[in-house]
Structure formats: structure tokens, C-alpha cells
Amino acid sequence: MSLLLQQIKEANNIFVACQLKSAKAPVCKYPTRKLAILACMDTRLVSFLEPAMGISRGEAKVIKVAGNVVYTDFDSVIGSLMVAVYELQVQEILVMGHDDCGMLHTTAASLCAKMKARGIAASDIEKIHPQLQKWADPIENITTSVMTTVEHLRKNPYLPADVLIHGAVIHPDTGRITILSDGSDRE
């Protein structure tokens, strides 16, 4: 077992023992705030994003993906949002970008070069290069990126028009949130 997995297992044993002692009521799988958050996977947002928003366990569904980018009408992110909306009663979606996002410096070319250096076959890289270009290359500005995702979700044929879709950016050091788009302001 890797050292990391050993550490996780030890931490989990302690965590479970504490949970059993505290005998807290189970948390419902339905988000009480009826909110889904589409956020970046940046490590600086772990245990930071939700408290900065006043969101506690059980109040929102959080979907994390590099750069909080959605560029197709259906992928695993859209599928997750569909489950949140149709199965878990989510009524609002917040696309939450963050300042200093690593995706601003990630390109299809840089990913392909690093994949090649790690032993991925050139033929396999060539197969996904067009998708990588559509996904990584358009991200040049976090505000524009968030708003592009917001607009894509608003126009998505699989998400109902009555779901409010908002856009915001959080600073990963201060936690200050800037609202870019309030979905309730749309006509």
C-alpha cells in the first residue's frame, strides 16, 4: 500500500471513531439550498469555497472540474448537473471560477507535450488533440471563461429554462466573491 493510502486509512479510522462517538443525525442527499456549484478542482478551494459562501454539509451539490469548463452539450459534468436538477431537486446552478486559475496557463500543446514525456503514445495523443484544443485553449481570462460556461449552460438543451444559472469568481487567498451574473436578472 502506498504511503499516501496508509495515511488516508489512518486518518479515516480516527475520523470514523469520532463520527461514531458524536452520533450526529444523517445528512440528507437532497441539497437543502437546492444549489449545485460547478467549481474548479484547485486545491486552494478545498475546505475553503463552501465556508466562504456560507454553505454547510448537505446544503449544495459540488461538482469540480479543471477550470470549471463545460464546452459540449453532454459530458460527465452536464450529466452530473442533470442528476442534480432532475433527481435531487436543484433549482440554481452557480459556476464558480477563481483568480489565478491554473487553466489560464494550460494549453492543448502543453498537455500533449507532457503526455508524450510521460510515455503516452503519439497516436493516442493525436486522437484527443482536437478535444483538448476545444477544452483548454479558449481559457484566457477567468471572467470570460466563467461567463462562457454560464451561457453554455443557459443554452444547454438538456437543462430546463427555469433553473437559475449564476456566475461568480472567488479569490483563493481572501475568499472574496465577485458576482458576475445573477441568473434571476434574466428575462
What pLDDT digit, counting tens, does each position of 75-130 carry?
Answer: 999 999 999 999 999 999 999 999 999 999 999 999 999 999 999 999 999 999 99
Domain map of the chain by residue range? 28-101+139-185
> What nine digits make up the cell of 36?
449545485
Higher-scoring residue by pLDDT: 23, 126:
126
Q: Tell me if the pTM is above 0.85.
A: yes
- Whole-number Cα distances in Å, 22 to 8, 109, 177: 21, 50, 33
CA distance 36 to 60: 6
Q: Does the annotation place 28 within a ligand binding site?
A: no
The number of beta carbons lying within 10 Å of the beta carbon of residue 64 is: 17
The confidence band for 20, taking pLDDT boundaries of 50, 70 and 90, is confident
Was domain 28-101+139-185 assigned CATH 3.40.1050.10?
Answer: yes
Q: Does the annotation place 112 within a ligand binding site?
A: no
Q: Does the annotation place 40 within a ligand binding site?
A: yes
Structure confidence by residue, pLDDT tens digits, 118-168 = 999 999 999 999 999 999 998 889 999 999 999 999 999 999 999 999 999
The whole-number pLDDT of residue 173 equals: 98
Kindly tell me the burial class for residue 129, based on how many C-beta atoms sit within 10 Å of its own C-beta (0-12, 13-18, 19 or more). Answer: middle
Q: Does the annotation place 129 within a ligand binding site?
A: no
Point out which residues pair with 96 in neighbouring strands: 39, 168
